[in-house]
Amino acid sequence: MATIQEKIAAMEAEHKRKIEQLKAADELIQARKVAALMKGKRAADTRRKILAGSLVLEMMERDEKTRTHFIARLDAFLTRADDRTLFSLPAKSKPSAVGEGNAP
């Protein structure tokens, strides 16, 4: 038969284990809340970009001066060939000389 001290130690160990489980469950809940918040922020950011882009595309369709301005800005901004293709921009050539300040 276990002594009182052994029973106390066993109960303390069991309580410690349960406390650790509860803390782990709380951390998981908090991590899920943060992930949901970040997902919502990313979704809102994506929606803003889509809406702003839609406005710009409409403005480009309605006004040639605006179109010319935005295409010039896009030409300077876009570097990936597939992105440039979306706006019928030619692919940018990569610099051939080493040491021109274009670090990878």
- pLDDT at position 1, please? 72
- pLDDT at position 98, please? 54
- pLDDT at position 97, please? 52
Phi-psi region of 59 (alpha: psi -120 to 50; beta: other; left: phi over 0): alpha
**CB-based contacts of 27, cutoff 8 Å, min separation 6:** none
Q: Identify which of 74, 103, 104, 102 has the alpha carbon closest to the alpha carbon of residue 90.
A: 74
Q: Which residue in this structure is represented by tokens 């030619």?
A: 90
- pLDDT at position 104, please? 46
pLDDT, block means (10 residues), the chain with 104 residues: 90 96 97 95 96 95 94 93 92 64 48
